[in-house]
């Protein structure tokens, strides 16, 4: 089909066509970036924690009397919790856990030289030392969380203490960061002046607050018993039992000591905890999706609206063309080709705009670079959208009878 | 004349209802989206202390003695430094703040104990931050020094404990100690909770939590240290603290705010802060290199990046959306006006000026804008309602206010006039002779 008549006709509608081009371009730029952000956030909220999340729930106890013996209190509480039917494991845990939004991190050096370097430079930077996120808990917390020892050994019962710990475990990522290819087992690390031995490597688990920079698996575990006025207990049960177990645990713990507080907000299954942690992302996904769809809708309306006008405006011209031999298909194709050209112009401009917008977002919101394949995909989608929205007006144009040409307006 | 144009506009709009509807809808959706996000943005980025924030400052120094030296001092001070600076009384007003929680045993039967958020502070806090009282007032400075068992409670807690009645003189039990209520706050909701805006710069833009309402119990600092040891919030520690001893803990947990009424006083306070820092290092209590700062409240909020990054992103997105909607409207209006070229040609031939044609077309665009504005307003209300349903700390403050309502209508009309100006200009340039010939 000859494009020349279309182009020369478009030259008469430079402005209207130009505006449509701009609209398509802006839509592509925004929608491509919004789609990319949705993909990013989706990936984020599906980050595996490494825990047996489906089976875990947490209960927080506050306001323990200040002069109480915490260890004895925990032992009594845990004993009670383990007797609840359906509870497979119960442990006390530190305040930081994956997706808990609380962080417990320590500056740790892989050897004494690194420690000296850090001390001399008064900084952890470039010393080989690392501020590392740490999880702790009472005896058996690894197994209760659903973590496995993949090399070395588990903590022994006498290694669980309230102060400085004699032994630690690292994830593979943390071990690689500290020791490179060296065997981490048996190495001694320094947390301040205190040293601990690496006794095992634990299966992958993510840090409490994700950074998304590839370092989320750098985690240390240590056998430190909680020693606060506020304690969190972790319960493991069958997924379906979790709500019942949590309610039973609250009643049982309250019965042990009527004075303390077990707030409703401190009773959560791990599923709820994950949802709370990613709440922001879920909201953002919803917003981005509705904005993107809204934009596409508005653009489709714009295309359809303009095409409608042009069909009305050119009714007589169409009649003449039909009268001198153009088929219905010719008319239909004409409008489709015209739309294809306009959207094509918009798409080319839009791809450039999308990249510029992405650069802007990268500098302001730490968004990664837009993968190139988003651009042709978005372009195809807009082309398809354009063709769909022009179809109805174009069909109407093709049904204009040739006799129109003979009538005066 | 305007009435006639208005009438013409209505007729023209009625002629093609679907198209008019689409234009109005596009503007309404664009306006609704941008005004929703702009309202949230406006509410979250406003001045928490209007008329006063320029005189409020936040002194900082590096009190740590650990191996790691921070580039920027920690967001809070250790107790000793904060207390020394506070006690010097060098500023027009000064106050310390320490965040914590405490077990509260209500006096009434049938109410179970709960943990209440507390702020340990000093008597200047209330006049310095223009905190409104419904009943009573703050404790006085002399009583504070003696560790008086008095507290100020929030209106929310007063509602919960005393059903909103005047509770001044009543007693509540905190951590087993009876304390007397001396003041009940009126509704007070600074956004963000600026005096505890610490750590926000590390949150990666997730700052929604800094928009919570103020604490429920305000305790005199010495009283809080007596009755609530072990329950304070730590920011960061460079050594292992004795949790029961905040005064000597190697931890940052105290915020110090000062009010300095003139630039000269601010400069003098900076010199004093440097001198204090130098003196403490000479004494050997501080070991890190000198690193003092004193930001104004505005600078502090900018430094902490208080407005959640998602809210900013949403605002950009919404305005991009509005832009596309406007392009849409410009295109449709252009097509619509130019289609009437014949009609316009006749009017021009009968003596209408270009200005008259321009005004007529613009009136039509304005009507679309007005309709779009009303629709946008409804959508904004819907949008804000949706924001309120979100589990975010600032949900309760999200509401349309008068300036935003006016801005919505103004924005809609301005946007549609802007969108209409160009098509109207084109329409007014239609040469009458050419059009008449083709009729």
Please judge whether A283 and B339 are an interchain contact, meaning their C-beta atoms are less than 8 angstroms apart.
no
Query: What pLDDT is recorded for position B418?
Result: 85
Whether residue B60 has pLDDT greater than 60? yes
Interface test with B, best of A32, A107, A209, A301 (most B CBs within 10 A): A301
Helix (H, G, I), strand (E, B) or coil at A7: helix
Question: Structural domain of residue B406, as residue ranges?
Answer: 2-45+308-438
Q: What is the 3-state secondary structure (H, E, C) of chain B?
A: CHHHHHHHHHHHHHHCHHHHHHHHHHHHHHHHHHHHHHHHHHHHCCCCCCCCHHHEEEEECCCCCCCCCCCCCCCCECHHHHHHHHHHCCCCEEEEEEEEEEEEECCCCCCCCEEEEEEEECCCHHHHCCCCEEEECCCCHHHHHCCCCEEEECHHHHHHHHCCCCCCCCEEEECCEEEEEEEEECCCCCCCCHHHCCCHHHCCCCCHHHHCCCCCEEEEHHHHHHHCCCCECCCEECCCCCCCCCCCCCEECEEEEEECCCHHHHHHHHHHHHHHHHHHHHHCCCCCCCCCEEEEHHHHHHHCCCCCHHHHHHHHHHHHHHHHHHHHHHHHHHHHHHHCHHHHHHHHHCCCCHHHHHHHHHHHHHHHHHHHHHHHHHHHHHHHHHHHHCCCCCHHHCCCCHHHHHHHHHHHHHHHHHHHHHHHHHHHCCCHHHHHHHC
Length of chain B: 439
Q: Are B425 and B409 part of one and the same domain? A: yes
Domain shared by B281 and B317, yes or no: no
Burial A376-400 (b: 16+ CB within 10 A, else e): eebbebbbebbeebbbebbebbbeb
Average pLDDT over residues B355-371: 88
Task: Mutate one of A19, A32, A297 to test the B interface: name it (highest B CB count within 10 A).
Answer: A19
Q: Are residues A114 and A146 in the same domain?
A: yes
Tokens of B199: 């750590």
Helix axes A4-12, A328-365, angle to 10 degrees: 60
Instruction: Tell me, yes or no, whether B80 and B225 share the same domain.
Output: yes
Give the ipTM of the model, two decimals please: 0.76
Are A9 and A64 in a shared domain?
Answer: no
Cα-Cα-Cα-Cα dihedral sign, residues A115, A117, A121, A123: negative
Shared domain check, A325 and A299: yes
Q: Are residues B332 and B189 in the same domain?
A: no
Task: Give the pLDDT confidence score for residue A173 in this predicted structure.
Answer: 93
Reading the block at residue A74, the tokens are 């925990």
- Is the Cβ pair B335, A305 closer than 8 Å? yes
- Quick one: A63 and A34 in the same domain? no
Tell if the CB–CB gap between B335 and A310 is shorter than 8 Å: yes
Chain A residues closer than 8 Å to B206 by CB: 280
Cα–Cα distances (Å) from B66 to A103, A123, B57, in that order, read 20, 10, 27
Instruction: Indicate whether A118 and A258 sit together in one domain.
Output: yes
Contact yes or no for B320 and A30 at CB 8 A: yes
Inform me whether the pLDDT recorded for B439 exceeds 60: no
Q: Are residues B360 and B288 in the same domain?
A: no
Do A262 and A227 have their domain in common? yes
Domain that holds residue A127: 53-277
> Within this chain, do residues B423 and B317 fall inside the same structural domain, yes or no?
yes
The answer, yes or no, to whether residue B438 has pLDDT greater than 90, is no
Asked which of B71-75, B108-112, B225-229, B356-360 is least confident by mean pLDDT, the reply is B108-112
State the pLDDT at residue A1: 59
Residue whose tokens read 């002779």: B433
- CB-CB: which of A263, A308, A365 is closest to B309? A365
Q: Into how many domains does chain B fold?
A: 2
Q: Do B140 and B178 reside in the same domain of the chain?
A: yes
Domain boundary among A256, A277, A298: A277
Residue B106, pLDDT score: 78
Give the model confidence (pLDDT) of B251-279 as tens digits. Answer: 899 999 999 999 999 999 999 999 999 99
Same domain, yes or no: B234 and B284: yes
Choose among B313, B321, B327: nearest Cβ to A22.
B327
Q: Do A409 and B334 touch (CB under 8 A)?
A: no
Binary contact (A124, B68; C-beta < 8 A):
yes
Chain A partners within 8 Å of B327 (Cβ): 19, 22-23, 26, 302
Chain B positions touching A291 (Cβ under 8 A) are 33, 317-318, 321
Predicted local distance difference test score (pLDDT) of residue B381: 92
Q: Kindly state whether residues A114 and A204 are assigned to the same domain.
A: yes
- Answer with the one of B254, B286, B303 that is the final residue of a domain: B303
One domain, residues A160 and A302: no
Q: Percent of chain B, pLDDT > 70?
A: 97
Pick A66's closest partner by Cβ from B113, B230, B317: B230
Interface test with A, best of B115, B328, B330 (most A CBs within 10 A): B328
Q: Please compute Rg for chain B using Cα positions.
A: 30
d(CA B114, CA B65): 37
Are residues A169 and A100 part of one domain?
Answer: yes
B33/A291 CB distance under 8 A: yes
Q: Do the Cβ atoms of B328 and A23 come within 8 Å?
A: yes
Give yes or no: residues B148 and B179 share one domain. yes
Q: Are B297 and B433 members of one domain? A: no
pLDDT level of residue B199 (50, 70, 90 thresholds): confident
Distance, CA of A344 to CA of A342 (rounded, Å): 5
pLDDT tens-digit series, residues B125-159: 999 999 999 999 999 999 999 989 999 999 999 99
Indicate yes or no: CB of A30 within 8 angstroms of CB of B321: yes
Residues in contact with B133: Cβ distance below 8 Å, sequence separation at least 6, in sequence order:
B126, B152, B183, B184, B185, B186
pLDDT band at B79 (very low <50, low <70, confident <90, very high): very high
Nearest Cα residue to B230 out of B102, B119, B116: B102
> How far does the CA of residue B146 sit from the closest CA of chain A (Å)?
24
Query: Which chain A positions have a beta carbon within 8 Å of B204's beta carbon?
Result: 209, 211, 366
Count of domains observed in chain A: 2
B368 closest CA partner among B405, B325, B339, B403: B325
Inter-residue contact A245 to A87 (CB < 8 Å) = yes
Instruction: Name the closest residue on chain A to residue B338, using Cα atoms.
Output: A313
Q: Which of B231, B240, B324 sits opposite A298 (nearest CB)?
A: B324
> CB-CB: which of B26, B323, B336 is closest to A301?
B26
B-proximal residues of A, 136-165, CB under 8 Å? 163
B253 and B355 in a single domain? The answer is no
Substitution target in B67, B114, B227, B319 with the highest count of A β-carbons within 10 Å is B67
B390 contact residues in A (CB cutoff 8 A): 279, 283
Tens digit of each residue's pLDDT (9 = 90 or more) over B377-409: 999 999 999 889 888 888 888 888 888 888 888
Distance from CA of A199 to the nearest CA of B (A): 24
Residue contact B310–A229, C-beta within 8 A: no
CB neighbours of A61 closer than 8 A, spacing ≥ 6? A77, A230, A231, A232, A233, A253, A260, A261, A262, A266
Judge: A305–B206 Cβ closer than 8 Å, yes or no: no
Nearest to residue B193, comparing CAs of B311, B42, B297?
B297
- Which among B272, B303, B334 is the end of a domain? B303
| Residues 308-337 (A) with a CB less than 8 A from some CB of B | 308-310, 312-313
For CA atoms B223, B225, B231, B233, give the dihedral sign.
positive
State the pTM of this model.
Answer: 0.80
Q: Between the CA of residue B107 and those of B177, B215, B216, what are the distances in Å?
A: 12, 20, 16
Q: What is the pLDDT of residue A376?
A: 94
Chain A nearest CA to B422, separation (Å): 10
A57 at interface of B, judged by CB pairs closer than 8 A? no
In the A/B pair of chains, how many CB contacts fall below 8 A?
Answer: 129
Q: How confident is the model over B191-219, as a mean pLDDT?
A: 87
What Å distances lie between residue B29 and A294, A298, B22, B71, B381, CA to CA? 8, 9, 10, 46, 12
B121 contacts B96 by C-beta, under 8 angstroms: yes
Beta strands in A116-247 (DSSP E): 130-136, 149-152, 167-171, 188-191, 194-202, 219-222, 231-236
Query: Which residues, including other chains, have CB under 8 Å from residue A109's CB and lie 6 or more apart?
Result: A115, A118, A127, A128, A129, A130, A189, A190, A191
Residues in chain A: 409
**Contacts of residue A327, Cβ cutoff 8 Å, sequence gap at least 6:** none
> Between B19, B231, B317, which is nearest A305 by CB?
B19
Taking alpha carbons only, the member of B426, B368, B347 closest to residue B14 is: B368
If asked whether residues A136 and A239 sit together in one domain, one would say: yes
Among A115, A124, A279, the residue with its CB nearest the CB of B391 is A279
Q: Are residues A273 and A335 in the same domain?
A: no
- On whether both A105 and A199 belong to a single domain, the answer is yes
Mean pLDDT across B336-348: 83
The shortest CB-CB distance from B314 to any of A16, A287, A313 is to: A287
The tens digit of pLDDT for each residue in B304-321 reads 988 888 888 888 888 888
B368 and B416 Cβ atoms separated by less than 8 Å:
yes
Before B192, cis peptide (omega within 30)? Answer: yes
The predicted structure's pLDDT at residue A385: 93
Beta bridge partners of B257: B95
Per-residue pLDDT, B107: 67
What is the mean pLDDT of the segment spanning B416-426?
86
User: Among the three residues A225, A260, A277, which one is the final residue of a domain in this structure?
Assistant: A277
Chain A 188-227, CB below 8 Å of chain B: which residues? 192, 209, 211
Are residues B180 and B234 both part of a single domain?
yes
For residue A183, give every residue at least 6 positions away whose Cβ sits within 8 Å of its Cβ, in sequence order, or none: none
Q: Which residues of chain A have pLDDT under 70?
A: 1-2, 63-68, 121-123, 125, 407-409
Nearest to B328 among A288, A298, A366 (CB): A298
Domain-ending residue, one of A277, A309, A330: A277
């Amino acid at each position: 089909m000859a494009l020349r008549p279309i182009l020369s006709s478009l030259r008469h509608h430079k402005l209207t066509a130009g505006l449509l081009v701009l609209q398509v371009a802006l839509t592509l730029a925004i929608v491509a970036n919004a789609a990319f952000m949705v993909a990013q956030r989706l990936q984020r909220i599906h980050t595996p924690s490494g825990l047996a999340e489906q089976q875990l729930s947490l209960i927080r106890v506050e306001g323990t009397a200040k002069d109480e013996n915490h260890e004895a209190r925990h032992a009594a509480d845990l004993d009670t919790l383990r007797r609840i039917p359906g509870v497979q494991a119960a442990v006390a845990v530190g305040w930081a856990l994956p997706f808990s939004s609380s962080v417990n991190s320590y500056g740790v050096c892989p050897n004494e030289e690194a420690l000296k370097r850090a001390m001399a430079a008064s900084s952890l930077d470039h010393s080989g030392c690392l501020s590392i996120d740490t999880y702790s808990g009472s005896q058996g917390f690894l197994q209760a969380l659903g973590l496995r020892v993949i090399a070395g050994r588990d903590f022994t019962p006498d290694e669980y203490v309230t102060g400085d710990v004699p032994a630690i475990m690292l994830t593979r990522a943390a071990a690689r960061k500290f020791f490179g290819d060296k065997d981490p087992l048996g190495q001694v690390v320094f947390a301040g002046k205190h040293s601990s031995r690496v006794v095992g490597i634990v299966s992958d688990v993510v840090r409490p607050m994700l950074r998304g920079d590839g370092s989320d698996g750098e985690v240390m575990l240590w056998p430190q018993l909680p020693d606060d006025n506020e304690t969190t207990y972790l319960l493991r049960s069958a997924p379906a039992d979790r709500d019942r177990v949590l309610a039973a645990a609250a009643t049982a713990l309250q019965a042990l000591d009527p004075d303390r507080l077990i707030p409703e907000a401190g009773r959560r299954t791990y599923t709820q905890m994950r949802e709370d942690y990613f709440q922001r992302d879920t909201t953002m996904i919803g917003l981005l999706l509705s904005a993107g769809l809204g934009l596409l809708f508005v653009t489709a309306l714009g295309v359809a609206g303009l095409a409608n006008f042009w069909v009305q405006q050119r009714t007589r011209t169409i009649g003449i063309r039909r009268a001198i031999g153009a088929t219905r298909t010719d008319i239909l194709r004409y409008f489709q080709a015209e739309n294809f050209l306009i959207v094509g112009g918009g798409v080319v401009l839009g791809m450039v705009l999308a990249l510029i917008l992405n650069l802007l977002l990268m500098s302001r919101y730490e968004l990664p670079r837009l993968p190139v394949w988003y651009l042709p995909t978005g372009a195809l989608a807009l082309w398809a959208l354009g063709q769909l929205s022009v179809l109805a007006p174009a069909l109407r144009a093709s049904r204009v009878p040739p006799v129109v040409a003979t009538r005066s307006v | 004349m305007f009435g006639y144009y208005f009438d013409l506009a209505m007729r023209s709009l009625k002629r093609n209802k679907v198209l008019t509807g689409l234009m109005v809808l596009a503007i309404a959706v664009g306006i609704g989206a941008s005004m929703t996000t702009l309202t949230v943005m406006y509410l979250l980025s406003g001045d928490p202390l209007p008329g006063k924030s320029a005189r409020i400052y936040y002194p900082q120094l590096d009190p740590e003695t650990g191996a790691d030296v921070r580039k920027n001092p920690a967001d809070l001070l250790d107790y000793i430094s904060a207390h020394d600076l506070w006690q010097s009384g060098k500023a027009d007003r000064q106050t310390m703040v320490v965040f914590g929680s405490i077990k509260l045993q209500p006096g009434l039967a049938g109410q179970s104990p709960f943990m209440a958020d507390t702020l340990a502070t000093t008597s200047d806090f209330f006049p310095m931050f223009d905190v409104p009282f419904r009943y009573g007032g703050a404790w006085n400075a002399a009583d504070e020094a003696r560790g008086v068992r008095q507290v100020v409670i929030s209106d929310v807690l007063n509602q919960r404990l005393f059903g909103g009645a005047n509770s001044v003189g009543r007693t509540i039990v905190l951590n087993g100690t009876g304390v007397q209520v001396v003041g009940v706050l009126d509704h007070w909701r600074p956004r963000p909770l600026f005096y505890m805006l610490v750590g926000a710069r590390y949150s990666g833009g997730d700052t929604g939590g800094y928009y919570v309402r103020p604490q429920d119990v305000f305790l005199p600092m010495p009283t809080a240290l007596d009755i609530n040891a072990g329950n304070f919030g730590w920011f960061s520690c460079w050594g292992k603290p004795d949790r029961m001893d905040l005064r000597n803990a190697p931890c940052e947990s105290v915020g110090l705010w000062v009010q300095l009424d003139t630039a000269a006083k601010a400069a003098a306070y900076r010199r004093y802060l440097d001198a204090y820092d130098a003196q403490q290092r000479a004494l050997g209590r501080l070991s890190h290199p000198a690193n003092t700062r004193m930001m104004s409240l505005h600078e502090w909020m900018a430094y902490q990046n208080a407005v959640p990054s998602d809210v900013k992103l949403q605002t950009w997105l919404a305005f991009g959306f509005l832009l596309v909607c406007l392009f849409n409207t410009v295109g449709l209006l252009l097509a619509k006006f130019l289609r009437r070229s014949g009609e316009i040609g006749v009017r021009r031939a009968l003596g209408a000026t270009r200005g008259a044609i321009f005004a007529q077309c613009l009136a039509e665009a304005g009507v679309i804008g007005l309709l779009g504005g009303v629709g946008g307003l409804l959508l904004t209300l819907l949008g804000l309602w949706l924001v309120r349903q979100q589990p975010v700390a600032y949900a309760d403050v999200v509401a349309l206010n008068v300036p935003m309502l006016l801005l919505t209508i103004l924005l809609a009309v301005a946007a549609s006039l802007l969108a209409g100006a160009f098509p109207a200009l084109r329409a007014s340039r239609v040469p009458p002779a050419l059009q008449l010939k083709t009729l």
